[in-house]
Chain A
Amino acid sequence: MNRIKRLDPEDRENLVAYLDGELDEDSIAAIDSALSDSPVARHEVEMLTRTWELLDLLPEEKASDSFSRTTLQNAFAGIDKPPAPPIDWTPRIRRLVGAVAWGGGLLLAGWLGFRTSRDWVENPADALLRDLPVIRNLDTYRDIEDLEFLQKLQREGLLDDLK
């Protein structure tokens, strides 16, 4: 290597890795050779080393007194909580069944009420239809004026023609 020639960029990249102990054996041998041949290269190595050492002057940072405590509190905050209890569906199901039963009961009661009123409470039109033969002959029945005589006539079938 030329004694006054500076290292080229590739050599310099290797030079830093050389100083950091990150080169393979062949590359180390090549750099050793270059350094032995070139005072410029040796100067570069020295400057790289000494400027790197200046970084030791950087102030050392310290965590604040509360840092560790607050960090641990925040980390453990999530795991100190008791797990959420499993959902008990029994009361909900019981309430739902009750509501369905009540609804069904109401429907049944309504239906029974409808049936009862339909069967047991006579429709006025039905009564008119049933009594139509009597109504139609009411004047005749009134002319007889005696209920026992009228019943006797009915028993003997003498009123059948009036139906």
Chain B
Amino acid sequence: MMRVKEGDEGAFAQIVERYQDRLIGVFFHMLRDRAAAEDLAQEAFLRVFRARHGYEPTAKFSTWLFRIANNLASNRRRDDSRKREVDLGGSDSGPLGPRPQEQILKDKSALMPARQLARSELQAVVQEALETLNERQRLAVLLHKFEGMSYSDIADAMDLTPAAVKSLLSRAREALRGILEPYVK
């Protein structure tokens, strides 16, 4: 990033190549919208490039990048929630009962014999389980699981305390365990 700051366009191309799949993956799992994931990933890279002159290596580059990603995802969620006439909000089942995804998982679980699920079916179940988490839990899980980020780095990227990240990840993993345990061999 310091080379980008000094005007090395090739270095920026390397950053895009290195992080594009990871960033798109995070956005995709956050939004479940491929086109929107690419749009936001591109916007994140453009923000990095526009901010290159003021960049100071006070934290890991990836932490800074995912902080930008978190801000973009938050803005997107805010825009989406304004568009929705009714916002059910949160991940937990509310007064309206379990959310559809939770119900689907329960139904699948209820029907679940001891048979082996096909990999694609299991993949869909895991994806749906991930979607039952709220956005903050989901982002923390993605950053920890797939980016290998420490609690401290996740806290930095999500503007939280490490203790809050610890609690967030604990609740997220408990929720995932509750849903996915029947599918463990």
- Name A's interface SS: helix
Write out the residue numbers on chain B whose beta carbons fall within 8 Å of the beta carbon of A54.
Answer: 122, 126, 176, 180, 183-184
User: Scoring B residues 95 to 129 as 1 if CB is less than 8 Å from chain A, else 0, what string do you get?
Assistant: 00000000000000000000000010011001100
- Chain B interface extent, by class: 35 or more
Contact, CB under 8 Å: A48 / B173: yes
User: Scoring A residues 53 to 69 as 1 if CB is less than 8 Å from chain B, else 0, what string do you get?
Assistant: 01101111111100110
Contact, CB under 8 Å: A68 / B20: yes
Write out the residue numbers on chain B whose beta carbons fall within 8 Å of the beta carbon of A145.
Answer: none
Contact, CB under 8 Å: A17 / B170: yes
Contact, CB under 8 Å: A57 / B123: yes
Write out the residue numbers on chain B whose beta carbons fall within 8 Å of the beta carbon of A47.
Answer: 177, 181, 184
Smallest CB separation, A66 vs chain B (Å): 9
Q: In the complex, what residue of chain A is closest to B34 when comparing beta carbons?
A: A61
Smallest CB separation, A33 vs chain B (Å): 19
Contact, CB under 8 Å: A63 / B20: yes
Contact, CB under 8 Å: A76 / B42: no
Q: How many residues of A contact B (CB 8 A)?
A: 30
* In the complex, number of A-B residue pairs with CB atoms less than 8 Å apart: 104
Q: Is B28 an interface residue (CB 8 A)?
A: yes
- Name B's interface SS: helix
Smallest CB separation, A73 vs chain B (Å): 10
Contact, CB under 8 Å: A13 / B166: yes
Write out the residue numbers on chain A whose beta carbons fall within 8 Å of the beta carbon of B180.
Answer: 51, 54
* Interface stretch of the complex, out of B8-16, B59-67, B71-79, B85-93: B8-16
Of residues 21 through 79 on chain A, the ones whose CB sits less than 8 Å from some CB of chain B are 22, 47-48, 50-52, 54-55, 57-64, 67-68, 70-72, 74-76
Contact, CB under 8 Å: B16 / A72: yes
A17-B170, A22-B151, A47-B184 as given contacts; A61 in contact with B37, CB under 8 Å: yes
Contact, CB under 8 Å: B123 / A60: no
In the complex, A16 Cα to B20 Cα: how many Å? 29
In the complex, A148 Cα to B121 Cα: how many Å? 143
User: Scoring A residues 76 to 117 as 1 if CB is less than 8 Å from chain B, else 0, what string do you get?
Assistant: 100000000000000000000000000000000000000000
7 contacts between A and B (CB under 8 A): A16-B174, A22-B166, A51-B179, A57-B123, A61-B21, A67-B38, A75-B49
